[in-house]
Every structure is written in C-alpha cells, then in structure tokens.
Amino acid sequence: MGHLRIRSRHQPFEVAALAMAPICGVLLLTLGVRPSSVQMSMPVPIQIGWEIGLIAVGAGGLLGILWPGRLSTGLGIELASVVVFGTISGMYTMALLVVSGRQAVAAASFITALAVGSLWRAVQIAIDLRRLARASQCTIHESV
C-alpha cells in the first residue's frame, strides 16, 4: 500500500478566518448593526440567517479541525463548515457588488478570495476523505 497523504488540518489562514467568523456573527447580532449592502439586498430573515451562519461555520469549522475522535468525522465536519462559509461569503460579495458597484471592488475582491479559498479547501477535504476511504478499504482487504 502507498503512502496516505492527508493535507494539514491546521492551516493558519483557515483557522484565523474560521475563528473570526463567529466573533463577527455575534457582534452583528448583539450590536444590531449590519453592512448597508446586506440591509439593502437581503430580507431580514436572510440577514439573521447569514449572521447565525457566520457563528455556525466558525464554531463548526474549528470543531472539525480540533476533533479528537476519528479523522474522517473531523474532516466531514470541517468540510460542511467550509462549504457553507464559502457560500455565505459569496452571498456577501454579491450584496456588496449589487449595492455598491465599482466602489466595492476592494472589499469584494477580498471577500471573494475568502469564498474561493473556502471552496478550494472543501475540494481538498473531499479528496482527503476519498483517499482515507480507499486506504480503509485496502486495510480491511489485507486483514481478511
């Protein structure tokens, strides 16, 4: 059997972004402030869902990274979190661009990078989970 390579689960940029997401979500909810682009482009229930989503993806993503149990479980939790993080980051990018147009180019570029990075990490995790499943099957067949 070949060498099983799982990408690091402790990527500093990902951890920093996931750690900041729930802080941002809690501050938005408790202070009752929202970016004007979000207020103008999203109905209130979607705005609240977006804020709760920030809290959930941050907490879930960090939980997945720090998961003490099975590697596949931790990777699965992290996968779900980064997919949703990429999605809600994309929602914010669209809100920025629709409301502010060219004036939002700088902010939209960075938020888009966050969305793309999240989805890129999701692809890496999916590949790692597939490798892990194949390695598990090889181990089962070798022991039989």
Greater confidence (50 vs 2) lies with 50
Q: Which residues contact 111 (CB under 8 A, 6 or more apart)?
A: 89, 92, 93, 96
What is the rounded average pLDDT for all residues in the chain? 90
Which class for 55: exposed (0-12), middle (13-18), buried (19 or more C-beta within 10 A)? middle
pLDDT per residue as tens digits for the range 97-106: 999 999 999 9
Are 134 and 95 in contact, with CB atoms under 8 Å apart? no
Q: What integer pLDDT is reported at residue 87 of this predicted model? A: 96
Residue 1 has pLDDT above 60, yes or no: no
Euclidean distance between CA atoms 48 and 26, whole angstroms: 11
Predicted confidence at residue 89, as pLDDT, reads 96
Q: Let me know: does 21 contact 85? Beta carbons within 8 Å.
A: yes
Q: Domain map of the chain by residue range? A: 12-143
E strand or H helix at 129:
helix 105-143
Q: Find, among 140, 137, 132, the residue nearest to 3 by Cα.
A: 132
* pLDDT band of 11, cuts 50, 70, 90: confident
Whether residue 10 has pLDDT greater than 90: no
Q: Indicate whether this model's pTM tops 0.85.
A: yes
Q: Is the pLDDT of residue 135 over 70?
A: yes
- Look at residue 141 in the predicted model and tell me its pLDDT: 56
Residue type, 99: V
pLDDT tens for each residue of 89-125? 999 999 999 999 999 999 999 999 999 999 999 999 9
